[in-house]
Structure 1
């Protein structure tokens, strides 16, 4: 599904008509410097040999919380004034964003509540509790958790930190795009996990502004890919949330989406969906060939290459977004268990 021929669009288009600009991302980069890690960007010999093109892995698994979400959460919280922070923070999460908010809140000395559905794996729930945040398990979907956030904002005056549909959150995630372009100025393709669109949207803004000929490809799972369905429909739509190895990519985009739908529907050049067995193979490859423990959502770029669902045309960046997988599940998959 080709969304846009990027070669025909100039840098000015990205910095003037979309809700997040290159200036927002550059500001975020300066703001979060020293609070997050500049993660490794390493060449994968196995994937480069497999494709005949240079493939590099951006290892957001090396963030302090094991996932890219710290960038957006930290930028959003640092962008608040003192009064907003003192009221306390609240968010809805499928796991990694909640962990990011909890980590940033503890670092900055403010209280936080994280609302999650019963589909969130126990290891992610326990990791958030370990960071001293209050956890609330509500319902069976991200939408149910978001309703609890809205109730707490209304009842207690807490400050919400959205998981993706927020300019400051998206700008923080977009700093990954700045980093990969510094390392590979002649970048041809970026493979990025696609869920609510904060990561894909932010990286797309940065890369398309600085290298408009680069191709941005969103990768998601076949089970409940909300942004893919929304782009196909031409508007945000609801999808049924299902269990998947790529649990961090679950949840909807929000029917009143203000930021990420516009970014993804305008800037992504393609969207690819993967089966559960293909995602499992990506997890196995990351462990056996790259020496990295990667969760399902973080393995989708690798999986798309292995499944030959993407044809590369030059230097490629694969965003490995997180490594917070349940250890028992990881062991079963890497030992060859069926997805």
Structure 2
């Protein structure tokens, strides 16, 4: 049974910002003329897919590695990932001279596996879900003494992701609604903690996919439950939240105003729109906010900001999607 910890606070997020400032990029915000016209209010896109490793995950990973003791750094780190956390952790560990092992399931696209290896980390493919890959991380911690840095349910990770919220509020001071891709809840918890501390009136909406939306199902159940991981264009949003979840479930429950789900077709439409209208290349997980806007699932009240959280998509898949092909990953993964 989990024992909930106090929520990550603004002071921790501000400290994280100082800790990562020298090595993590401040990403730009663009106003979208096409989406602003569609919604009838200003729509801004936070281009976090232009982060150094192609996703927001570098923020939390860098902060987590910076918080390690010298002894922990000597032993090395391990983590489970659907791709982007692994890439961010591998980058942060390499910069700090720390050994890094990333464990992943067979559902992770090869492009993301290759990206992690290119950062110098060792990759181990275990099972068909993040939960199964986590078992190998647990073994590395128990038998080899490595320090586990999880992808979301960790104070330093959440505080690092929250730095994105601080940036966004500086860039769009009058923002009224923020759309945040939702998986295990690290990003939405950090962004919500930052924004709600400074602007309690801002609406935070988590966006996930219809296929295997773990946090959404856990919120409905009233606590962490097992949710089957399914193939989806938004592969970075796959995986459970952990039955022993300490932070992100409660923070999402208490700080996030709503959760919206989008279909595979809507995610594909989001990827296409972002490419053809915004001239940006994003992965499925990074497109879910725009997908929700295009499908009119978001009530537009005041300026809206959507976080384009990652751009690490297989370019062959991206070409197929933007060319209008009906890319059915559910069939291709069978």
Deviations, residues 130-177 of structure 1 (Å, cap 9, x unaligned): 111100000000001111100000010001111000010000000011
Q: Tell me by how many angstroms 1:332 deviates.
A: 0.2
Counterpart-to-counterpart distance in 2, 1:55 and 1:153: 44
Which residue is 1:318 aligned to?
306
State the 1:34 CA deviation: 1.1
Equivalent in 59, 83, 87 of residue 99 of structure 1: 87
Is 1:112–2:100 an aligned residue pair?
yes
Cα distance in 2 for partners of 1:238, 1:44 equals 38
The alignment status of 1:156 with 2:130, answered yes or no, reads: no
**Secondary structure of 2:310 counterpart:** coil
Is the Cα–Cα contact under 8 Å of residues 18 and 263 in structure 1 kept in the other structure? no
Establish whether residue 132 from structure 1 lines up as the match of residue 120 from structure 2. yes
For residues 55 and 147 of structure 1, the distance between their equivalents in structure 2, rounded to whole angstroms, comes to 42
Q: Tell me what 2:332 maps to.
A: none
Give how far 1:18 is off.
4.0
- Residue number among 17, 25, 33 corresponding to 1:37 in the alignment: 25
Report SS of the residue matched to 2:307.
strand
Matched residue, 2:54 = 66
In 2, distance between residues paired with 1:128 and 1:204? Answer: 28
Alignment correspondent of 1:4: none
RMSD of aligned Cα (Å) = 0.8
Distance 1:127 1:173 in 2: 21
Q: Which among 102, 105, 121 is matched to residue 109 of structure 2?
A: 121
Per-residue CA shift, 1:32-69, capped at 9, x if unaligned? Answer: 00110000111111111111111111111111110000
Q: Mapping of 1:261-272 within 5 angstroms?
A: 261-272=249-260
> Partners of 1:186 and 1:333 in 2: how far apart?
34
Distance 2:305 2:18 in 1: 23
CA distance in 2 between partners of 1:184 and 1:132 (Å): 36
| 1:206 maps to 2:218 | no
Q: Match of 2:73, SS?
A: helix
Deviates more, 1:268-277 or 1:180-189: 180-189
1:54 equivalent in alignment to 2:49: no
Aligned to 2:321: 333
TM-score when normalising by structure 1: 0.94
Alignment of 1:161-310 (within 5 A): 161-310=149-298
Structure 2 partner of 1:3: none
Deviations 1:171-214 (A, max 9, x none): 00000110111112221000000000000110000011100011
Aligned length: 323
Shift of 1:317: 1.0
Q: Is residue 75 of structure 1 aligned with residue 60 of structure 2? A: no
Aligned partners of 1:18 and 1:262 also within 8 Å: no
Give the SS at the match of 1:336. coil
- Whole-angstrom CA distance in 2 between matches of 1:211 and 1:234: 27
Q: Residue 305 of structure 1 aligns to a residue in which SS?
A: helix
**How much does 1:311 deviate?**
1.1
Report how far residue 81 of structure 1 moved. Answer: 1.1
Q: Distance in 2 between matches of 1:83 and 1:314?
A: 49
Partner SS for 1:56 = strand
Secondary structure (helix, strand or coil) at the match of 1:204 reads helix
CA offset at residue 237 of structure 1?
Answer: 0.9
Match of 2:204, SS? strand
Query: Distance between the aligned counterparts of 1:268 and 1:237, measured in 2?
Result: 19
